[in-house]
Structures are given as C-alpha cells and as structure tokens.
C-alpha cells in the first residue's frame, strides 16, 4: 500500500495545521483544569465547536452545498490525526451512528456527555435499567429501497442480507439498497 499523501491531501493537512496553530487552545488535558465549573467548560467547548464550524471543519465530509467541505475519507482521517497531534479538545456535541446490514443505531453526545435513559423495551417487554440512549431504525446498509406507486421512496422492510447482498457487492443482488 502507498501511504504517501497526495498533493491535495498535503495541502489540506498543511492548511489545517496552520489553522490549528492559530486557533487550537493548547493541550486540552492541561486547559480543561482551568475551568471552575462544568458549565464554563461546556461553554468553552461549544465555542471551540463553533470556531471549527466557521472554519468548515465540522461536517467536513458533507457536500459543500450543505455547509461541509466534501472531504474525502483520507482528509477526514487527516483531520482527526491533526486534532490529536495538536492535543485539541474533543467536540462536545456529536451524533454516533453504527450502520449494519439490517439496522442503524444512533446515539448522541450532548455537552460532552453520552445521553442515557432508564426506560426501554426489548421486544414486547418494557425494561427499566440505566443504559445509553441508543435508538435503532430498520434501515441498514442492506435495506432494500424502492419507489412506491405514487413516487415515494420506501425503505424496507425487506433486506438483501449478506448473501447476495447489495447490488454494489457484485454477488448477484438485484434490488437497490441503502448501500447502493
């Protein structure tokens, strides 16, 4: 494998390094101890996330027409590598997403804390125990997509499964899926 950065990737890294040299607050492990209260720390982190957003580094993989940079996977990796190199703070508000073949799990980090709940259900049974607040939707990468009789896009409940899988796998899948 060739792990050399392309000229475009080097330019992205160099620009990000210059921006971080001016804007990063320093070693976050040391900076975080300066705050007297959790509220002060959260206000600081929200300001940090706002500055990253204004510079185009939040949602950098989003298309430019939606406020992102249209960054490649490699540019995203460079971004997180450079944040770590600069010892910059983490983002206080993020969406976590884990997409499998038949479902997609979504959880939130708000103000630096994982959202939690004590109420949920498993099948038809209600349960009450402390847990992360993760919601599952029935729309994983193998979920079949189709257009109904009036032109609406409908996802599922059918799935291509792992075999043959989505059309893009090239193993005989015939129906387009979320992955395709």
**Which is nearest to 164 in space by CA: 91, 101, 82?**
101
Q: What is the DSSP string of 56-87?
A: T-TTTTS-GGGTS----HHHHHHHHHHHHHTT
- Split at pLDDT 50, 70, 90, the class of 1 is low
Structure tokens at 90: 């983490």
| Torsion sign, CA atoms 46, 52, 55, 58 | negative
**Which is nearest to 22 in space by CA: 50, 52, 44, 46?**
52
Rounded to two decimals, the pTM is 0.68
Alpha carbons 124 and 164: distance in angstroms, whole number: 31
Q: How far is CA 70 from CA 54, 59, 63, in A?
A: 15, 9, 4
105-157 tens-digit pLDDT: 999 999 888 899 998 888 899 999 999 999 888 788 888 888 999 999 888 88
10-53 tens-digit pLDDT: 999 999 999 999 999 989 989 988 999 989 999 999 999 999 99
Alpha carbons 61 and 158: distance in angstroms, whole number: 29
Structure tokens at 152: 């609406």
């Amino acid at each position: 494998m060739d792990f050399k950065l392309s000229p475009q990737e080097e330019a992205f890294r160099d620009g990000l390094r210059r921006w971080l040299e001016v804007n990063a607050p320093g070693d976050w492990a040391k900076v975080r101890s300066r705050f007297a209260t959790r509220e002060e720390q959260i206000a600081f982190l929200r300001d940090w996330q706002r500055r990253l957003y204004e510079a185009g580094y939040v949602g950098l993989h989003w298309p430019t027409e939606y406020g992102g940079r249209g960054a490649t996977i490699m540019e995203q990796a460079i971004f997180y590598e450079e944040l770590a190199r600069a010892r910059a703070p983490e983002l206080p508000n993020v969406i976590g997403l884990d997409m499998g073949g038949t479902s997609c799990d979504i959880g939130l980090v708000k103000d630096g804390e994982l959202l939690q709940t004590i109420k949920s259900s498993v099948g038809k049974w209600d349960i009450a125990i402390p847990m992360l607040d993760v919601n599952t939707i029935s729309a994983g990468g193998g979920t079949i997509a189709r257009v109904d009789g009036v032109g609406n896009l409908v996802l599922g409940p059918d799935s291509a499964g792992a075999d043959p899988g989505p059309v893009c796998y090239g193993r005989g899948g015939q129906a387009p899926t979320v992955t395709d």
